[in-house]
Amino acid sequence: MTEISAGVAAVNGLRMHYLRAGSGSPVVLLHGWPQTSHCWRKVLPALAAEHTVIAPDLRGYGRTDKPGHGYDKRTMASDVAALVESLGFDRVAVVGHDRGARVGHRWALDRPEQVARLAVLDILPTREVWRRWDVEVAKRYWHWTFHLQPDLPERLVGADVAGYLGYFFERWTYNRHGLEPEAVAEYVRAFSAPGALRAGFDDYRASFPDDADADDADYAAGRRVSAPVLAVWGGSALFGVAPVLDVWRDYADDVRGEPIAECGHFLAEERPDELLAVLRPFLAGG
């Protein structure tokens, strides 16, 4: 049975909580919203059979500190970069889901020497979400603009954290049994902690203009991800008919990937075996 340990590292002025298991080449797993490192529970043990796996709670999430600043992806990427350095690693593979994939994308741009491989799960680049904004995208991503508003989301959502998060866990899933009641309860607990809602919304608030400005500057300068990129997405998830691989090839030099059939947004929980089948050869250098 895989032994998973929990740790806390003091990095970038934060106390950052993380899970660690296994040995071998290092792989960092970055969760999204509205989740924590708990989302990797079904794939972490299998990956740990071949790798040292590190799964942190990002700035503002889970058991990591929730400061009132620093939610731009450049700062959040520097958090996890400092974490892996503190653990003695200088080059890692990164697997990010949702907001965590946006952190991973920025990490690979800012520190190409540190990111050996990057897997992005169920996202398009942040710049592309804004660039493609129309009625159909707005219907799928309405929560982005809601979360951008100051103070209001905290007030409205705080009255019913379980109800709000439950909306996304139902609407964004195809295999709803993949998010078992105990997991949903853990996420509700995490986002009911003081400062947690505000921190999660601040993550979105940093998308515009901070992250958008940084992304636009990189794109204008021709900066692309040089590491191999694996893009995996749920076949029944948010994108609809977006040409995912073609989009990512405009931002990275070496892109491959595929959808997972009959899967919604939460790949690691809805279809863990299918996700592992795609991740394992990529992480092994295939």
pLDDT digits (tens, 9 = 90+) for 198-227: 999 999 999 999 999 999 999 999 999 999
Q: How far is residue 164 CA from its own chain's centroid?
A: 19
Average pLDDT for 150-170: 97
9-23, 124-138, 186-200, 267-281: least confident range: 124-138
Q: Is 147 a catalytic residue?
A: no
pLDDT value at residue 102: 98
Q: What is the mean pLDDT of the chain?
A: 96
**In contact, 223 and 234? CB cutoff 8 Å:** no
Quick check: 33 pLDDT over 90? yes
- Which of 252 and 240 is assigned the larger pLDDT? 252
pLDDT digits (tens, 9 = 90+) for 116-145: 999 999 999 999 988 888 888 888 889 999
Average pLDDT for 156-160: 97
**In contact, 21 and 49? CB cutoff 8 Å:** no
Closest CA to 120 of 234, 269, 241: 234
pLDDT digits (tens, 9 = 90+) for 94-122: 999 999 999 999 999 999 999 999 999 99
Catalytic residue among 18, 164, 204, 251: 204
Average pLDDT for 64-83: 98
Instruction: Kindly list the domain boundaries of the chain, sorted by start residue.
Output: 4-283
pLDDT value at residue 240: 59
Place of tokens 């700035």: 59
Average pLDDT for 10-22: 97
- Quickly state the pLDDT bin for 241 (edges 50, 70, 90): low
pLDDT value at residue 56: 98
pLDDT value at residue 163: 98
138: number of Cβ within 10 Å: 11
Q: Which amino acid is at 57?
A: D
Place of tokens 């299998």: 46
pLDDT value at residue 239: 65
Q: Is 61 a catalytic residue?
A: no
Q: What percent of the chain has pLDDT over 70?
A: 98
Catalytic residue among 98, 122, 202, 211: 98
Q: The CATH number of 4-283 is which of 3.20.20.10, 2.40.10.220, 3.40.50.1820, 2.60.120.260?
A: 3.40.50.1820
Q: Is 204 a catalytic residue?
A: yes
pLDDT value at residue 191: 98
Closest CA to 55 of 31, 87, 91: 31
Average pLDDT for 162-170: 97
| Distance spanning both ends of the chain, measured CA to CA | 27
pLDDT value at residue 237: 77
Q: What percent of the chain has pLDDT over 90?
A: 91
